[in-house]
Amino acid sequence: MDKELLTVEEVSGILGVHPITIRRYIKDNKIKASKIGGQWRITSSDLKEFMCVDNFNGRVAKNSASTLEEFVQGKKYNNKTLESCVILNYHVASADKATPLCEKIISRVNSEHSNQSGINFQYYYMEEEKNARIIIYGKPRFLGKILCDLDEFDS
């Protein structure tokens, strides 16, 4: 990932957690951040590093499963009339091999996040299964754009 600076709010949206949780991660030195103009900023590379920590992956997996179960049961996710979700399983030997795919999706999410609400990106790597799981909630048109961008990873 490049050195793009993300706000606490953007990172919370990407990870599907509350901004207060991100600030606590910063305070506890679990995620690297810098204060710029009185606000915390997190580089894309620091976010990627944080997302690859095994302990974090376990918590995200549990949270993702719970959120997905609620979505499948029909509970309103983002208070929209039409809600959609995409689940990607990327079978690769290591979390590092999934990095290019994640970078592409995160870049698209970041470019659209300011224009749309209700976008949620969740990622975790399951070491035992050698599988990167990516779950994205958002408007159908947006999710369609993401899927169209992923042809290069389908081999």
Q: What is the distance between the terminal CA atoms of the chain, rounded to a whole angstrom?
A: 23
| Average pLDDT estimate for 113-139 | 80
Do residues 50 and 70 both lie within one domain?
no
C-alpha angle 43/47/50, rounded to 5°?
Answer: 140
C-alpha angle 21/144/118, rounded to 5°?
Answer: 30
Do residues 96 and 22 both lie within one domain?
no
Do residues 75 and 122 both lie within one domain?
yes
131-138, strands of its sheet edge to edge: 84-91, 131-138, 120-126
Do residues 67 and 46 both lie within one domain?
no
pTM: 0.57
pLDDT of residue 58: 57
pLDDT of residue 1: 41
- Residue where one domain finishes, among candidates 15, 35, 54: 54
Q: CA torsion, points 31, 99, 137, 143, in degrees to nearest 10?
A: 150
- Residue where one domain finishes, among candidates 13, 34, 54: 54
Q: In whole angstroms, what is the distance from residue 3 CA to residue 48 CA? A: 11
User: Is the model more confident about 116 or about 123?
Assistant: 123
Q: In whole angstroms, what is the distance from residue 136 CA to residue 140 CA? A: 11
Do residues 75 and 140 both lie within one domain?
yes
| Residue 5 · residue 46 · CB < 8 Å | no
Do residues 71 and 142 both lie within one domain?
yes
Per-residue pLDDT of 22-37, as tens digits, reads 998 899 888 999 999 9
User: Is the model more confident about 8 or about 76?
Assistant: 8
Helix, strand, coil share of the chain (percent; to 5): 50, 20, 30
C-alpha angle 86/91/92, rounded to 5°?
Answer: 130
pLDDT of residue 148: 92
Provide the residue range defining the domain that includes 18.
5-54
| Average pLDDT estimate for 84-102 | 91
Do residues 27 and 102 both lie within one domain?
no
Do residues 78 and 23 both lie within one domain?
no
User: Is the model more confident about 23 or about 116?
Assistant: 23
Do residues 130 and 105 both lie within one domain?
yes
- Residue where one domain finishes, among candidates 18, 37, 54: 54
Return the minimum-mean-pLDDT range out of 34-43, 54-63, 76-85, 130-139.
54-63
For the chain, the average pLDDT equals: 81
Q: What is the CATH number of the domain that holds 132?
A: 3.30.70
Do residues 30 and 94 both lie within one domain?
no
What is the count of structural domains for the chain? 2
